[in-house]
Amino acid sequence: MADQQKILVLTSKTGGGHISLAEALRDQLARIHTIEIIDPQPGFFHWHYRLVSRYALWLWAAEFQFTDTPDRALFAHRLFAPLVARELTELLERVRPALIITTYPFLTYEVMQVLAKSTTSIPFVMLPSDPNGVHASWLSERRATAVLAPTRETYEQACAAGFTTDQLHLVGWPVRAQFYRDYAGQRSMLLTQLGLKPERFTIFLQGGGEGAARFGRTVEGVLAANPDAQVILAVGTNQALLERFTGVERLYALPFTREIAPYMAAADVVMGKAGPNMLFEAVTLGKPFIATAYIPGQEEVNLEFIRRHQLGWVALTPEEQGALLAQLASNPDTLQTMRATVDAYRQWNTAANKSIVEIIEDLL
């Protein structure tokens, strides 16, 4: 095994998914290397994401779909690259990494342009953040040393786009270390501490820290349609959701916490927007997932991924959600059947993850 070296993981604060992937890599690699996670983008891009995710999802979808062709993706890269070139150059000079990994598509071509002007040779690794339907902005940069494909679908699409089998590695979806711990004996104590009842059917519902999913009406519908169920509502940094649901009967409003896994593990099912990180976190805990919303364009393909691998259900309307939850609460066999397919994918994904350290060591 190589001596401890410094690995730079580039990510984006535009949503929590890219950061969660970066932290999952850190959890795997920090035992043997020094990991530094950085978002080098100007603040304007974070402001833009917060604005459109709250008030103009149609604009986010339009931007996503417009750039999802090879020519337009490359054009967007060429526009974006000069905006981060100076920051990236200074970052590489300061950190002097032995290897670079990115979990964000617009830190791929941009990084390679900076590395092309450098006198040093640094391995560059891409971890696409799309499980089903890789955005063209990931596929337009083929100079990467390696691509860590998180799903079979990602691997096949990257192959079709021209990446070589020497570049591609099927590694599964990395998940943060907290989701691999055993919480089996903590459910009753945790639910009691939250003021909930351990014997009740429990739903973990995540609304999204930026408010993108607008889950207020979903929460009210779930409680009204299922009088015997209870909800752990993860409100993230959404203060309005926290104030709205604090003190509501059969519900615990959970503020932002970095240790979210114990609360998800205490539930029978996990519900939320069809973001891939939350989906794979639920899978790692062995919990079926119910997709209640999605970011147009970007996450719609994830619904088919959930159905194809039988990782849970898609229920996009209050009526569908109420009927599904009532069925699951009254018919444990339905829930148990889905748990079996979730566990099968969990086992495959966990085994695939074990190759990540070996691949990084070989590159170093």
Q: Are residues 89 and 198 in the same domain?
A: no
Confirm whether 239 is domain-assigned.
yes
Contact between 221 and 321 (Cβ < 8 Å): yes
Helix, strand, coil content of the chain in percent (nearest 5):
50, 15, 35
Q: Are residues 245 and 357 in the same domain?
A: no
362, two tokens: 């070989």
Q: Which of 247, 252, 291 is nearest to 269 (CA)?
A: 291
Q: Are residues 314 and 300 in the same domain?
A: yes
Confirm whether 42 is domain-assigned.
yes
Q: Give the span between the Cα atoms of 340 and 362, in whole angstroms.
A: 35
DSSP 8-state code for residue 165: T
Point out the least confidently predicted range of 48-62, 68-82, 319-333: 48-62
146 is in which domain, residue-wise? Answer: 6-174+350-363
Average pLDDT, the chain: 91
The answer, yes or no, to whether residue 233 has pLDDT greater than 50, is: yes
Q: Are residues 194 and 317 in the same domain?
A: yes
pLDDT, position 214? 57
Q: At 312, which helix (H) or strand (E)?
A: strand 312-314
CA distances from 344 to 28, 38, 284, 286 (A): 22, 34, 10, 9
- Burial class from Cβ neighbours inside 10 Å (0-12, 13-18, 19+) for residue 32 reads middle
When divided into structural domains, the chain yields a total of 2
pTM of the model: 0.92
Confirm whether 184 is domain-assigned.
yes
pLDDT in tens, 242-278: 888 999 999 999 998 999 999 999 999 999 989 999 9
Q: Are residues 26 and 98 in the same domain?
A: yes
pLDDT, position 239? 84
**DSSP letters for 73-103:** HHHHHHHHHHHHHHHHHHHHHHH--SEEEES
Q: Are residues 207 and 167 in the same domain?
A: no
Residue 289's DSSP bridge partners are 270, 312
Contact between 296 and 57 (Cβ < 8 Å): yes
Q: Are residues 232 and 306 in the same domain?
A: yes
pLDDT, position 289? 98
**DSSP letters for 129-162:** --SSS--HHHHT----SEEEESSHHHHHHHHHHT
Mean pLDDT of 283-298: 92
The answer, yes or no, to whether residue 209 has pLDDT greater than 70, is: no
Q: Give the rounded percent of residues in the chain with a pLDDT score beyond 90.
A: 74
Q: Give the span between the Cα atoms of 277 and 130, in whole angstroms.
A: 10
In 66-84, which positions are buried (b, 16+ CB within 10 angstroms) versus exposed (e)?
A: ebbeeeebbebbeebbeeb
Q: Are residues 231 and 153 in the same domain?
A: no
Confirm whether 341 is domain-assigned.
no
Mean pLDDT of 6-18: 89
Q: Are residues 47 and 143 in the same domain?
A: yes
pLDDT, position 302? 95
Q: Which of 292, 232, 229, 242 is nearest to 266 (CA)?
A: 232
- Can you give the CATH number for the domain in which 120 is found? 3.40.50.2000
The answer, yes or no, to whether residue 123 has pLDDT greater than 70, is: yes
Q: Are residues 16 and 153 in the same domain?
A: yes
The identity of residue 158, as a single letter, is A
pLDDT in tens, 45-74: 777 777 776 777 778 788 888 899 999 999
pLDDT, position 101? 98
pLDDT, position 63? 85
What band does 207 get if pLDDT is binned at 50, 70 and 90?
low
Residues 6+ apart with CB under 8 A from 66: 72
Confirm whether 339 is domain-assigned.
no
Task: Choose between 262 and 214: higher pLDDT.
Answer: 262
Confirm whether 302 is domain-assigned.
yes
Q: Are residues 129 and 184 in the same domain?
A: no
pLDDT in tens, 21-32: 999 999 999 999
pLDDT, position 58? 76
The answer, yes or no, to whether residue 138 has pLDDT greater than 80, is: yes
Mean pLDDT of 146-166: 97
Q: Give the span between the Cα atoms of 77 and 107, in whole angstroms.
A: 9
- Reduced to 3 states, what is the DSSP secondary structure of residue 185? helix
**Angle at CA 150, nearest 5°, toward 149 and 156?**
50
pLDDT, position 211? 47
What band does 210 get if pLDDT is binned at 50, 70 and 90?
very low
The answer, yes or no, to whether residue 2 has pLDDT greater than 70, is: no
The answer, yes or no, to whether residue 212 has pLDDT greater than 50, is: no
The answer, yes or no, to whether residue 332 has pLDDT greater than 60, is: yes
pLDDT, position 202? 96
Mean pLDDT of 202-220: 71
Confirm whether 194 is domain-assigned.
yes
Q: Are residues 82 and 213 in the same domain?
A: no
What angle do the packed helices 276-284 and 17-29 form, to 10 degrees?
A: 40
The answer, yes or no, to whether residue 184 has pLDDT greater than 60, is: yes
pLDDT, position 213? 45
